[in-house]
Chain A
Amino acid sequence: MALIEIRGLRRYYVMGDTVVRALDGVNLTIEQGEFLCLMGPSGSGKSTLLNMLGGLDKPTDGSIVVAGHRLSELDENGLALYRQHEVGFVFQSYNLIPTFTAAQNVEFPLVFTGVSPEERRHRAGNLLTELGLGDRLHHHPTEMSGGQQQRVAVARSLINQPHILLGDEPTGNLDSKTGAEILNLFVRLNRTGQTLIIVTHDPRVAEYGTRTIHMLDGRIVEDVENAQTNPDPELSPTEESLS
């Protein structure tokens, strides 16, 4: 069975007198280890689909099954536990907590899972070191560059060893060079078997993925396999440790 199975997925909003069809019958199968890019203009439904996959939004109709979890059947508590264990989020604006250090931000998701403080600290330190931020553990977000902050956010999304890493325009706030660094980080993660799903409207970003889906008006209009034409050819020394 595929990692993600989406069948007839619909999400309608009522806005005033009109019904907005954010998702209007989406069928999609995603396998473990894919690096999927969701593209499309604003309002095409790509972000809604991402939120749906992340268990932040519930479908109006249809089914979405992720790693055996039927999301439409989970209650609020069930969805929270699903988010705790199965997915990791990376946002456009990093969403780090300003008063926390890098390490504290990274271990924050584990606070809700009951992992012991020692274990949390250990895992956060390891992860940040692997992502090249070993000397930034105790820095606050304001003391770091945008690229560093986003790497902290990536570390946070990985701390619970999720099945899927979800990114909502993760390079949207970064210049092209740091954006490329993050994308290369994603490629390296993907090569270790990590499934990634990223929303973007930048075609260059899509070049890093293994598969690109174009959406329009809540439907999938194009679904292409990528040859990963622009991945980082150099493998960093940290890659071995990531695997």
Chain B
Amino acid sequence: MKLRDLFLLVVANLNRMRGRVVMTMMGVVIGTAAIVILISLSSGLQASTVDNFSQFGSLNQITVFSGSRFGGDSTAEGLTPSAINDLEDIDGVVAVTPYEQFSGQSVLKYNRLEGFGSIYGIDPLVLPDMNFELSEGSATLGAGAVIIGSGVGSGFSEASDSDQGQGGGPTGGPRMMFGPGAQASDTESTTEALDLYGKTIQLELTRMSEDGQENRTVRLRVAGVLASSGGNEDYNIYMSMKDLDSLLAWSRQERPNWVQDGYSQVMVIAEQDADVTLAVTEEITNRGYFTMSTTSIVESLNSVYAIIEAVLGGVASIALLVAAIGIANTMVMSVLERTREIGLMKAIGARNRDVMAVFLAEASAIGVIGGVIGVIVGLVLAQIIGVVASAVVGTESGTTLVVTPLWLPVFAIVFSLVIGLIAGIYPAFRAVQLDPVRALRSE
């Protein structure tokens, strides 16, 4: 029996029991649509969560802390320059830089405005590898130069102890969710975001000495402004390690001895590949350091979502299993009703495998047609749910709560085909096993 003939025969047979086929198909449609909707929602949730996390840092950057910072009894040596050299030798590592935060007391000033930022010292040679995206300027750090995050400029406001009676700018300007600015109270007047590129800002340092409080002002030229990442980094100020050394020296009244004490943090930049980043992270952890990388957070999130997806998919699959029983039932009924026809087919020379093929193909067709319709219904409903959910939750425009992976429709259709095929096995066997003599005599 040729495939084309089988196809035409199946179409004719399904058309004959149209009503029942449609009702049976409904089960498959519901099951497939449920799979598509639930997995699309869970993928969407995963994508938006991972997206949020990715804002906290480039995926190939690993922040490494010395063990002692957490009070752990790590056996690893401190993050000394020689330790940095060792880290650089790990396979997959592109560059390593100190990532030391300025720990002294300081205020950022621009004209009469006060601002804030976390000051980090880094190795200027590593800048090209840090993948800084600049909105203005260049990624170079000379003496007295800084690269600032996009949020720094918007964090300036009238000094709280200012004696100027000015009303200040509009309130409710850009506010950040995280970072030092979170403490800023709403009553404080703020100005509009400043474009600090090319400007010089002052960093006013304060230290307590035997003579009481001492101040020193350092002038910093803004060599570049980073594009917004949406995370904490927007409030970072990067300077060369050399500059930071001198700030710390004044603030602590002694030069820091990195060779002896080690840095408190270093940044390891790995190759742009999640697997490499994970391998490097693991290696560094094995050496006794504490690490934090967005990739490993994202990775563990992904595995959590994989489980959620599997559970949701499993729940939806139950609907498809029920549909399979429906298909089997419809096909068994069909075999009973068409007993004489099966007898006739055998009498005019249909082989067992022909009879088998007809019934398996009919059951599979119910499955696959239901699957295709179910996928379409599921995709449409998922989009509607996504729009409604975005409106209710109030996500930013552009972020979607529904993501349908490409494999999902294909999988759903193949799955419904297989379900139909399996459901057809028992009825097809019953058809094959009919005795043609008795089948022809049946009423």
Contacts and interface: CB of A to CB of B under 8 A. Distances in A.
B123 interface: no
A80 B349 contact: yes
Nearest to A57: B437
Given A56-B436, A91-B440, A97-B341, A113 B16 contact: no
B1 A114 contact: yes
B347 interface: yes
A84 B348 contact: yes
B137 to A, nearest CB: 74
A199 to B, nearest CB: 13
Interface stretch (A24-32, A104-112, A230-238): A104-112
Contacts of A57: 437
Contacts of A156: 348
A114 B350 CA distance: 11
A25 B133 CA distance: 98
A96 to B, nearest CB: 9
A114 B3 CA distance: 10
Contacts of B340: 95
Contacts of A77: 351-352
Interface in B354-408: 354
Contacts of A111: 1-2, 5, 9
Chain A interface category by residue count: 20 to 34
A201 interface: no
Contacts of B13: 99
Contacts of B351: 76-77, 80-81, 112
Interface string B4-17: 11000100110110
Given A80-B352, A99-B15, A99-B16, A89 B347 contact: yes
B344 A97 contact: yes
Contacts of B352: 76-77, 80
B347 A54 contact: yes
Nearest to B1: A112
A15 to B, nearest CB: 13
Contact of A84 (B5, B9, B349, B436): B349
B344 A95 contact: yes
A113 B349 contact: yes
Interface in A105-163: 108-109, 111-114, 117, 156, 160
A12 interface: no
B346 interface: yes
A114 to B, nearest CB: 6
Contacts of A83: 346-349
Interface string B44-88: 000000000000000000000000000000000000000000000
A56 B345 CA distance: 12
A100 B12 CA distance: 8
A109 to B, nearest CB: 4
Contact of A112 (B341, B354, B436): B354
A215 B13 CA distance: 41
A140 to B, nearest CB: 12
9 contacts: A54-B347, A80-B350, A83-B347, A84-B349, A95-B340, A99-B13, A111-B1, A112-B348, A114-B1
Interface of A: 51, 54, 56-57, 76-77, 80-81, 83-85, 88-89, 91, 95, 97, 99-100, 108-109, 111-114, 117, 156, 160
